[in-house]
Structure 1
Amino acid sequence: MHSTGLDLRQDAATLTARLVDFPSESGTEEPLVDELETALRALPHLTVDRYGNNLVARTRLDRPERVILAGHVDTVPVAGNLPSRLDEDGQLWGCGTSDMKAGVAVQLRLAATVPEPNRDLTFVFYDNEEVAAHLNGLGHVARAHPDWLAGDFAVLLEPSNGQVEGGCQGTLRVLLRTTGQRAHSARSWMGANAIHAARPVLDRLAGYQPRRRVIDGLEYREGLNAVHIEGGVAGNVIPDLCTVTVNYRYAPDRDEQQALDHVREVFADCGVEEMIVDDSSGGALPGLSHPAAVAFLEAVGGEAHPKYGWTDVSRFSALGVPAVNYGPGDPNLAHKRDERVDTALITHCEERLRHWLTS
C-alpha cells in the first residue's frame, strides 16, 4: 500500500502536499481513505464510522449545536501535474491542490487539534464527487445512514477563495433529438437532414436571454447552453438523427421539475422529436438568514457571494441542513493542468474556522 505516513498535526500546507502526492482519482480512493481512517481512529475524542470509501467522524460532547464540515477526497484524472511542488511565492501546485485537498487538509487539522470545540462537530470525507451523481459517496451515506449527517449547519470546504458562497445552482442536462430521413448525399432531395433540422434549437439557444435572480441578497446568473452535438452516419449519407446536448444552470428558487418545464417551454416549437433527461441535480437556497449561518459569517468575516456551479450543499439542503461553501483555493483553477493553491489562504481558512469553533 502507498503510505503517506499522515501526521494530522503537521501544518495544513504540508498536510495538503502529502494528500496531493497520494493520487486518488475518482474510483481509486480506497487506499487514501484507509490512511485517513487510521489517522482519525487514533484521535480519542472522535467516533469514526465508515461506509464504503466514506468516513464520518464525530465528537460526542452534548453541545446544543452540531455542525458538519464536509469534503470529497477524490480528484479528476492526473494531467502530468504530480508530484506537488511549492514555488517561491507560496503557491502549491498539483492535481487536487485547489479541488479540494487543501480543504480536506483543513478538516483533518481541525479534527486533530480541536478536541473540545464550542459546537459538536461531524467531519465527513467522501468519494466520487467528480463523476456521475449516482456514484457520489455523500449521497450514498445520506441514503444509508442519514442519522450520521444530522446537524444544524454544514460547511462544504470546496474552493471558494476563502469567501462564503451561499447555496448553489441547480443543473439539468437534456438530450434534444431531431430526426430526418436517410438518403445518399448525391441524391439529398430524397432524404431529410436531421442535422439541418437542429438549426431552430441552435437559433433558440443563440438568442436565449438567461435570467438573473436575487435571493437573500445574492444574485444568481443562469445559463442555457449547448455543450455537445452529435449526428452523421458517413461522408456520403444524409443523417436521419441529430442530438444536441443542452445544459441548464439555474437559480435555486426553481426546483428540478420547474427547471425541466422551463426547458421544455423554451424548445417547444423547435421541431424536437424527443427530449431525454440525461442528468439532474437540484440547487440549494443560500439559507444565510439561519442563526448558525449568521454566526458563521460573523466569525469568518467578509461578504457572502452566490455559488456559480453545483455542489453538495444541495444534498445537505435536501436533508434539512442549511449549508454554505467555504474553503481555500480558487475554483477557477479546479481541474486545470496548472491547478494550484495559495498556502497562505489554506492557513487563513484554518484560522478563521478555528476561531469560529473555539471562541
Structure 2
Amino acid sequence: MDHPTLDLALDAAALTARLVDFPSVSGEEKGLADAVEEALRALPHLTVDRDGDAVVARTNLGRAERVILAGHIDTVPIAGNVPSRLDGDGVLWGCGTSDMKSGVAVQLRIAATVPEPNRDLTFVFYDHEEVAADLNGLKRLAERHPDWLAGDFAVLLEPTDAKVEGGCQGTLRVRVETTGRRAHSARSWLGENAIHKAAPVLARLAAYEPRRVDIDGLTYREGLNAVMIEGGHAGNVIPDACAVIVNFRFAPDRGEEAALAHVREVFDGYEVVLTDSAPGALPGLSHPAAAAFVEAIGAELAPKDGWTDVARFSALGIPAINYGPGDPKLAHTREEHVATAAVLAAERNLRTWLTS
C-alpha cells in the first residue's frame, strides 16, 4: 500500500482535516480517489465502482426511494494553506475546508455509519470539478455510466453555509460584435470606429431590468452584464472590430434556447455569437424527499445564486439541492476555513434525515 489511508471512525470534523492534508488539486486526485475507494470497499453494506478518479458506492436494500449524496474531491491550487490548522476557536483552516472537503467528509461518515438508511443511498465522489467543464468527473459518469447515477433525489454537498439552496441558475456567454473600417487615427474621418459603435450595446445593458422569478418559494435574480470588451489594434489605428462579452445568468424556469433567444432579442440588430452555455436546475423542493430533508434539518431555504453540478442531476431528471457546511464566500481563498461545529452539525442532520 503506497498511499495513506482514511479512518472513517473519525468524526466529520477530524476527517475533514485528514482530507485537507491529502492534497488533491484538480488533475492530481488519484491518491485521494484510491484512499476513498479503499475505505469504502471495506464497508460490507456497499457496492463500489470506479471510473478514472471518480468513485461511486451504493446500498442495495430495496428501499422505495434512492437518494444520491455527491461531492467533488478536487480543489483549486494550494495557496500555502496545507496542511490544515485547527485554532483554539474550533475553526479548521486549509485548502478545501469549505469547498468542499468538509462536505466530502460528511458523505464518508454517512457511508460508514448509516448501514441501513431509510432510503437507499448512492455516494458519488468525483474529480475535476474545479477546471474546464469537459473534464468534469460527474459529466463523465453521466455519459458513461448513467445507471450508476440513477436515483429519485440528490443532495450536492457544495458549501452553502448550512442553508438548503434549491436548484441553480443557468449561465451563458455571448459576443456582441460590431464592425467598422480601419484607418489611421490622424485621419479618423476615413474610418468607422467599431469601439464607438459598441456604445449602444453598453447603453442597452445599463438600461436592462433583470427579472426576479419565484419558484417553489425561492426568488431567483437574473443578471445580464458585460464582463469584458475586446477591440483595438494599436494606439494610432481606428479599430474595425469590437466585441462586448456578455454573461447572462438566468433563472431555472428558462431553458438554454429560451435564454439565448432572450439575449438575441435584447441585442436585436447586432451580431450575437454564443460562446458557452449551461442549463440551470429547478429547485426540486416539492419532491417528498426534499420536504423531508428540510423538515429534518430545519435549515433556511435559499436559491442558488450561481451554477453548480445540481444541473447535471436535473438533466438526468433527478431533482437536486445544494447543502453543505462550508461558507461559499470562502471558496478558493487563501484564508479558506470551516467551523468544526458546522461540519458536525451537517453530519448529525444528514444522519437524522436518513434514520428517522
Indicate whether the TM-score tops 0.5.
yes
Regions of 4+ moved over 3 Å: 1-4
Q: CA–CA distance in 2 between the matches of 1:158 and 1:2? A: 30
User: 336, 340, 344: which one pairs with 1:339?
Assistant: 336
* Residue aligning to 1:232: 232
SS of 2:234's equivalent in the other structure is coil
**Cα offset for 1:217?**
0.9
Q: What are structure 1's unaligned runs of at least 5 residues?
A: none
Q: CA–CA distance in 1 between the matches of 2:3 and 2:174? A: 42
**Cα offset for 1:186?**
2.1
Deviations 1:203-238 (A, max 9, x none): 111121111011111111111111122222222222
* Residue aligning to 2:79: 79
Deviations 1:104-125 (A, max 9, x none): 1110111111112121110001
CA RMSD of aligned residues (A): 1.5
Contact 2:26 2:75 in 1 (8 A): yes
* Residue aligning to 1:297: 294
Q: CA, structure 1 residues 338+150, in 2 after alignment: closer, same or farther (shift >3 Å)?
A: same
Q: Normalized against structure 2, the TM-score is what?
A: 0.96
Q: CA–CA distance in 2 between the matches of 1:236 and 1:22? A: 54
Query: Would you say 1:178 and 2:178 are equivalent positions?
Result: yes
Query: Would you say 1:329 and 2:326 are equivalent positions?
Result: yes
Q: CA–CA distance in 1 between the matches of 2:30 and 2:322? A: 25
* Residue aligning to 1:279: 276
* Residue aligning to 1:310: 307
Q: CA–CA distance in 1 between the matches of 2:311 and 2:62? A: 27
Q: CA–CA distance in 2 between the matches of 1:245 and 1:2? A: 48
Deviations 1:261-295 (A, max 9, x none): 111111114xx3x3222211111111211111111
Contact 2:162 2:299 in 1 (8 A): no
**Cα offset for 1:2?**
7.9
* Residue aligning to 2:38: 38
Q: CA–CA distance in 2 between the matches of 1:205 and 1:348? A: 43
Q: CA, structure 1 residues 21+196, in 2 after alignment: closer, same or farther (shift >3 Å)?
A: farther
SS of 2:155's equivalent in the other structure is strand
Deviations 1:160-204 (A, max 9, x none): 111111111111111222222222222222222222221111111
Query: Would you say 1:142 and 2:139 are equivalent positions?
Result: no
Number of matched pairs: 356
Q: CA–CA distance in 2 between the matches of 1:348 and 1:86? A: 17
> How is 1:1-359 mapped onto 2 (pairs within 5 angstroms)?
3-269=3-269, 272=270, 274-359=271-356
Q: CA–CA distance in 2 between the matches of 1:83 and 1:190? A: 62
Q: What are structure 2's unaligned runs of at least 5 residues?
A: none
Q: Percent identity?
A: 73
Q: Normalized against structure 1, the TM-score is what?
A: 0.95
Contact 1:2 1:22 in 2 (8 A): no
SS of 1:102's equivalent in the other structure is helix
